[in-house]
Structure 1
Amino acid sequence: MVDPSVAPLSEIVLRLLLAAGLGALIGLEREQSESGGSFAGSRTFPLIALYGALVQAFFPAVLPLVVGTLVVPLTVAYVGKIRYEGDIGLTTLVAALVTIVLGAMTTHSDRGAVVAIIAGGAVTVLLSVKDPVHEFVDRIEESERRASAKFILVVLVVLPALPNRSLDAFYGLNPRFVWLMVVFVTGLGFVAYLLGQTLGPERGIALTGIVGGFVSSTATTVSMAEKTTRNAALHHVCAFAVVTASIVMFPRALIEIAVVNPDLLPHVALPLGGMTTVGVIAAVALYWRTATDETVEPDTLTNPFRLRPALLFGAIFATVLLVADYANEWFGASGVYVTAFFSGLADVDAMTITLSRLAAEGTVSTQVATTGIVIAAIANTFLKAVLAWLLGTHRLGWLVSLVLGVVVLSGLAFLVV
């Protein structure tokens, strides 16, 4: 905590200026958007932030009391705003209350100041995207909202209830860890899905591939292949989308490794990072042959927050976790590699998280985990080329196979190094 009795005057002044700056940032947004009206604006919000900062610095014990005291005039002003302007929105009132807390955080501690800066920026962005957020909500169908609500409800109810220990009844699996990974992987796809919905149907082919790669690169490949059968002239643009979606799989795996086992990340970063770099270069070369005004949409992508796909992934993940563990025990590294290849054909995420977990527990070595993850990624990349051949045109198959073939060879080369 910043103690004003011992802290240099310059530091206290700096914290107060920071509080005023955060308040001004939020106040300017409220005034420019005309959402604050006569309630609060570019002058009131800095004062509110300073109010919280000064109380926290000099009278921290009474902070809850003085915050409660400020709630009274804010409420009176809000009621007057409703009466004279007919605006019953609570956003500005809540933003004012948050600004008090942000101001107090700036003088609470160094960490509090950093968090206040991050939170203040997030609040400003959230306030400024009112229209896009409302447009996005309007675009979501009722069935999508119900699916998301059901999934979130299940997460909130099921996750805390699951035991956080290995159970003999589940062959040594930790139920909470399995379900937590289901939520994590689904959450990654949902963030990309939200991005795609927010950007709308006008997004370019590069973002189409990126979004499709995080939601489902396999679904993107199938969708693009089917489009070429209906319009063969789209083989270049569809190939670019397939390649981009396939490349996104590598940084997605790196994110999963960083969360599950950060110590493994430096070892996997070279082969997966190398495959990403080579894939991006190859994709850029392919993009030069693609008309930039062409746009395609992966119409098979759906909201990842659905209970059935989540349960399916949970079953696959639990199975892969068990099979990989037993394969390593019975057959050693070769058993893990065979498991990685065949499981990678179905789902890279499951194998990536499994080997990251086993390496963290010391069940498999770092080298075996790294090699297994790369094998799973290569197997899934190989599958994309096969799908392009089977479901698309020959031109699409050739392009995808050529580009992804280079990516696979680079992965093998980086693995040997």
Structure 2
Amino acid sequence: MVDPLTSSLGEVVLHLLLAGGLGVLIGLEREQSESGGTFAGSRTFPLIALYGALVQAFFPAVLPVAFGMLVVPLTVAYVGKIWYEGDIGLTTLVAALVTVVLGAMTMHSDRGATIAIIVGGAVTVLLSMKGPVHEFADRIEESERRASVKFILVVLVVLPTLPDRSLDALYGLNPRFVWLMVVFVTGLGFVAYVLGQALGPERGIALTGIVGGFVSSTATTVSMAEKTTQNATLYHVCAFAVVTASIVMFPRALIEIAVVNPDLLPNVAFPLGAMTVVGVAAAGVLYWRTASDETVKPEELENPLRLQPALLFGAIFAAVLLVSEYANEWFGASGVYATAFFSGLADVDAMTITLSRLAAEGTVSTQVATTGIVIAAIANTFVKAALAWVLGTTELGKLVSIVLGVVVLSGLVFLWL
């Protein structure tokens, strides 16, 4: 805690200035957006932040009381704003209350000050994105909203009730870990989905591939392949989208490894990083070869926050985890590699998380885990090329196969080095 009695005067003043600066930042945004109206603006918000900072510094024991006392005049001012301006929005009022907390955090500790800076910046960005956020909400259909709410409720109810230990009845599986990974993978897809919705239907083909790769690279490949059967001249731009969606799988896998087993990341980053770099270069050549007037409107991807696909992934992940453990026990590394290849044909995420977990537990070696993850990624890349051949035109199949073939070859070369 930044104690004014023991800390230097310079340190106390610095933290007070930080509190005031955060208040100014939020206040300017409220005033420039005209959302605060006569309620609060560039002068009121820094005063509110300083109020929280000074109370925390000199009277920390009464901070809850001081916070409650501030709620009364803020509520009166808010009612007056409704009366005179007819605006019942709660955003500015809530922002003012958050600013009090941020001011107090700057005086709590150095870590509190750092978090206050991060949260203050995030709050300012969120406040300034009123238009895009509301447009995004308007684009979501009612059925999608219900599906998302249902998924979130199930997550909040189920996750805390699951035992966080291996259960003999489930052949040694940890139910909470399995469900937590389901939520994590679904969350990755949802972030990309939100990005795609926020950018709107007019987003470029490059962003279409990136977003599609995080949400569902298979769905993106199928969509682009079908478009070439409708218009064969689009095979260049569709190939670019397929390749982009396919190579996004590699950094996505690296994110999953970083979360589940950070110690494994340096080993896997080398081959998957090489495949990403080569893929980006190949995609760049494709983009350069694509005519400037070639455009294709992507199919809208489904919201990943849906219960049925999440449960399906959970079942696949649990099965892959069990099969991998027994395959390693019975057949050693070759069993793991075979499992990685066949599971990679359907889903890379399950195998990536499985081998990251097994390596963290010491069940498999780092080298076996690294090789298995690369094998799964290569198998899934083959699937994208096969889909391009089967569902798309011959030109699309050839182009995608050549590009992804080079990507796969680079991964194998760097894996063997």
TM-score by length of 1: 0.99
Whole-angstrom CA distance in 1 between matches of 2:298 and 2:305: 17
Aligned to 1:416: 416
Contact between 1:257 and 1:356, CA under 8 Å: does it hold in 2?
yes
Q: Cα distance, 1:4 vs. partner? A: 1.0
Q: Once structures 1 and 2 are overlaid, which stretch shifts more, 337-346 or 68-77?
A: 68-77
Match in the other structure for 1:257? 257
Name the residue aligned to 2:66.
66
Shift of 1:293: 4.4
The reply to whether residue 344 of structure 1 matches residue 344 of structure 2 is: yes
Cα distance in 2 for residues equivalent to 1:200 and 1:36: 28
Instruction: Give the aligned partner of residue 220 of structure 2.
Output: 220
- Per-residue displacement from partner, 1:230-279 (whole Å, max 9, x unpaired)? 00011010000000000000000000001111111111110111110111
CA deviations on 1:361-388 (whole Å, 9 max, x unpaired) are 1000000000000000000011111111
User: Contact conserved, 1:275 with 1:408, CA < 8 A, in 2?
Assistant: yes
Contact 1:220-1:300 at 8 Å conserved across structures = no
- The equivalent residue for 1:43 is 43
The sequence identity of aligned pairs, in percent, is 86
Structure 1 residues 199 and 300, CA, compared in 2 at 3 Å: closer, same or farther?
closer
Mapped to 1, the partners of 2:85 and 2:300 lie a distance apart of 46
Preserved CA contact (<8 Å) 1:271 1:411: yes
Residues in 1 aligned to 2:297 and 2:63: alpha-carbon distance in whole angstroms: 53
Deviation per residue, 1:198-240 (Å, 9 max, x gap): 1111000000000000000011001100000000011010000
Mapped partners of 1:277, 1:413: distance in 2: 14
Matched letter for residue 414 of structure 2: F
The 10-residue stretch of structure 1 (188-197 or 286-295) with the greater mean CA deviation from structure 2: 286-295
Asked whether the equivalents of residues 16 and 50 of structure 1 are also in contact (C-alpha less than 8 Å), the reply is yes
Instruction: Return the letter of the residue paired with 1:5.
Output: L
Residue in 2 that maps onto 1:405? 405
Q: What is the Cα deviation at residue 292 of structure 1?
A: 3.8
Q: Secondary structure at the match of 1:288?
A: helix
Supply the distance in 1 between the matched residues of 2:7 and 2:296 (Cα, whole angstroms): 59
Matches within 5 A, 1:12-411: 12-299=12-299, 301-411=301-411
Q: Deviations over 1:90-141 (max 9, x none)?
A: 1101000000000111111011011000100111111111111111111111
* 1:302 aligned counterpart, secondary structure: coil
CA contact (8 A) 1:389 1:396 kept: yes
Is the counterpart of residue 8 in structure 1 residue 42 in structure 2?
Answer: no
- Please provide the CA RMSD for this pair: 0.9
Q: AA paired with 1:224?
A: M
**Deviation (angstroms), 1:163:** 1.0
Distance of 2:277 and 2:152 partners within structure 1 = 36
Aligned-partner Cα distance in 2 for 1:351–1:404: 20
Cα deviation per residue 1:56-87 (whole Å; 9 max; x = unaligned)?
Answer: 11111111111111111111111111111111
Count the aligned residue pairs.
Answer: 417
Contact 1:151–1:305 (CA under 8 A) maintained in structure 2: yes
Query: 1:14 and 1:297 mapped to 2: Cα distance?
Result: 52
CA shift for structure 1 position 300: 5.9
Amino acid at match of 2:366: T
Distance 1:9 1:295 in 2: 61
Cα offset, 1:8, TM superposition: 1.4
Cα deviation 1:23-65 (Å, max 9, x = unaligned): 0010001001111011100000011001111111111111111
The runs of at least 4 consecutive aligned structure 1 residues that moved more than 2 Å come to: 291-298
What CA distance in whole angstroms lies between the structure 2 residues aligned with 1:308 and 1:38? 48
The answer (yes or no) to whether the contact 1:189–1:214 under 8 Å persists in 2 is yes
Tell me the SS of whatever aligns to 1:364: coil
Measured in 1, the distance between the counterparts of 2:255 and 2:162 equals 25
SS at match of 1:326: helix
Shift of 1:296: 2.5
CA distance, structure 1, for counterparts of residue 364 and residue 88 of structure 2? 59
Unmatched tracts of structure 2, length 5 or more: none
